[in-house]
Structure 1
Amino acid sequence: MSILSTLAGIGMAVGPPLIYADQAYSIVKKKDSSGFSHDVCGVLLIANTVRVFFWLGNRFETPLLIQSLLLIVSQLILLAICLHYKPLNSENELNYAPLSPLPNSPNPGHSRQDSNSDYLNQPHISENNNENLKNLKGFKGLFIGGNGKRPFEFWQWEGYGNYLEFLAGLILFLGILQIILGKWNWYIDSLGFIALTIESTLPIPQFISNFRRKTCYGFRSSTLAGWFFGDAYKTVYFFLRGSPFQFKVTAIMTLCWDSAVLAQRVIYGAKAPNEASSQYSAPAQQEESRGLRANDERQFSIS
């Protein structure tokens, strides 16, 4: 039984950080981090930093502490990769297709072959699609502000150093609070709930990204499988090992969000954004083309 317990602890410590190895390899291979929300890195970095301070007041199992430290290191590496291969228009557009036929219109995600392209060669955006874009932007505004920017542009910074400065400030702030309030149980328990509640929101940024683009392109199936089965494993592990109550509650919440992202993968698939957008705009184009044909037939009959 002790051997099984040791193996389970090793799996708990090493498994979650290894989930993101394939995601990082895929980004480097394609030289494109679009489709993977680097907010995921932010959630894990903040949650596990707080969890380390939670350990100082409530010495939970060592494998969980090692897991947090390895996750911090792995997410710092993954964040650097995401920023290095981040498309310039990833925060400004909902897809890669240009919305303007002008030759000088900036759109790094689309290469124009010549300046003779006309409006007919561009993806058609019907009124229904425009309305859908407005709705999606409104949904996006619920999470990152109505103008597309978060307060203080949080976790939307350009330089990698800005993220490191934020994490250093967070560690300093938590260190001061630990010195002042670390002897109080209510503060330590609050740290546990804060850390694990933040971690339970891990799939939400990816869920929003998939919803906006109507595709799971760029988000590795291996990462999704690691989320779902890993969180299922953690949930069982927490209950069997008698881990603190905070771990059990947040594990169940995270598993529910994993299921939502899994449903998106089944519904949307993993097509490139331009292919997915054309798929969703096809019914509107067919409806409009039928209306144009009907108008032509009526004009012909009148003449």
Structure 2
Amino acid sequence: MVIAPAAAYIDQYTVMRRTGSARGFSSAICGVLLVANILRVFFWIGRRFDDALLCQSVVMMGTQLVLLHLCLRCRAFDEPNGAWMRERSLWRWPLFEDYVSFLTKLSVGLALLQLFLGQQEWYVETIGFLSVGIEAALPVPQAISNYQRKSVEGFSPVVLLSWFGGDLFKTIYYYATGAPLQFLICGIFQLAVDCFILGQTLAYGTGFQMSKSASSGRGASRLLTGHATVSKKNDNEHV
């Protein structure tokens, strides 16, 4: 329960290390998980729940920082014109230190809020809903990226399967252990998006490619037929 969610990203890390490219993997996933798990830690401080979920958050944050660092290193390969170095939009900064600075400021801000509002139930519940709400959006950036590119190339199928299996398991776990309602809602929503991405994988990864190949085959057939017709016409003219 603690290691499995983070271990799912080992294959994605391996793929990016092998290819030297982060295409197909949205770095926004790292951002979603980092922010969501920081919020979850503060939710745990305000309303104690299963310690395993707290440990899971700590392990996941470390994993995503390593993955994010590799994503930034791969940008030089994916965007050789250096345009990425000039970006300053949210979560598209050029340096790893920029991300660490943002996460540090977020943590300090939440710590101050916890100090002044940590005894207020409405505040603690709000932090909980924000945590699971952001985490529930985890697969959304990947689904958008797949749709825009009309491809799932570069996205590890192991990650997708681990998302689906992990979300199914944790939803059942949340229900069985009586975890806060926020967690159960998060699990159900993520399962729905996982199924959507699975559909994209079938459409873009298999059906789309097959359709494209078939279209190419039909195009080649038409070209060959046209070439044969022209050749036959030329032969008749020579006769």
Q: Same fold (TM over 0.5)?
A: yes
Output the amino acid matched with 1:187. Y
Matched residue, 1:279: 212
Output the amino acid matched with 2:198. L
Matched residue, 1:63: 52
Structure 1 residues 220 and 270 mapped into 2: Cα distance closer, same or farther (>3 Å)?
farther
Structure 2 residue aligned with 1:160, among 91, 96, 104? 96
In structure 1, what is the Cα distance between the partners aligned to 2:15 and 2:77? Answer: 19
In structure 2, what is the Cα distance between the partners aligned to 1:53 and 1:221? Answer: 32
- Please state how far the C-alpha of 1:14 moved relative to its aligned partner: 1.1
Matched residue, 2:168: 232
In structure 1, what is the Cα distance between the partners aligned to 2:76 and 2:95? Answer: 14
| DSSP-derived class of the 1:85 partner | helix
Structure 1 residue aligned with 2:22, among 24, 27, 33? 33
In structure 2, what is the Cα distance between the partners aligned to 1:270 and 1:80? Answer: 31
Structure 1 residues 87 and 262 mapped into 2: Cα distance closer, same or farther (>3 Å)?
farther
Matched residue, 1:48: 37
Structure 1 residues 234 and 255 mapped into 2: Cα distance closer, same or farther (>3 Å)?
same
CA contact (8 A) 1:203 1:258 kept: yes
Matched residue, 1:217: 153
In structure 2, runs of 5+ residues without a counterpart are 227-239
Figure out how many residues of one structure are paired with residues of the other and give that number: 217
CA contact (8 A) 1:218 1:270 kept: no
Q: Deviations over 1:202-247 (max 9, x none)?
A: 0000001111111111111100000001000000000011111110
TM-score normalised by L of structure 1: 0.66
Matched residue, 1:112: none
CA contact (8 A) 2:20 2:77 kept: no
CA contact (8 A) 2:22 2:78 kept: no
In structure 2, what is the Cα distance between the partners aligned to 1:190 and 1:219? Answer: 33
Output the amino acid matched with 2:57. S
Matched residue, 2:7: 18
- Please state how far the C-alpha of 1:279 moved relative to its aligned partner: 3.2
- Please state how far the C-alpha of 1:30 moved relative to its aligned partner: 1.1
Matched residue, 2:237: none
Show the 5 A alignment for 1:146-157: 153-157=89-93
- Please state how far the C-alpha of 1:86 moved relative to its aligned partner: 2.2
| DSSP-derived class of the 1:13 partner | coil
Show the 5 A alignment for 1:143-222: 153-222=89-158
Stretches of 4+ aligned residues off by more than 4 angstroms: 87-90
- Please state how far the C-alpha of 1:191 moved relative to its aligned partner: 0.3
| DSSP-derived class of the 1:183 partner | coil
In structure 2, what is the Cα distance between the partners aligned to 1:70 and 1:183? Answer: 27
Output the amino acid matched with 1:17. A
In structure 2, what is the Cα distance between the partners aligned to 1:83 and 1:252? Answer: 32
Structure 1 residue aligned with 2:189, among 253, 258, 261? 253
Higher helix proportion: 2
Structure 1 residues 270 and 168 mapped into 2: Cα distance closer, same or farther (>3 Å)?
farther
TM-score normalised by L of structure 2: 0.83
Output the amino acid matched with 2:138. L
Q: Deviations over 1:265-302 (max 9, x none)?
A: 1110079xxx96x939x58x95xx99xx9xxxxxxxxx
Output the amino acid matched with 1:220. S
CA RMSD of aligned residues (A): 2.7
Q: Deviations over 1:7-63 (max 9, x none)?
A: xxxxx1111010101110111011111100010000000000011000001111000
- Identity, in percent, stands at 39
| DSSP-derived class of the 1:269 partner | helix
Output the amino acid matched with 1:61. D
| DSSP-derived class of the 1:43 partner | helix
In structure 1, what is the Cα distance between the partners aligned to 2:132 and 2:151? Answer: 28
Matched residue, 1:81: 70
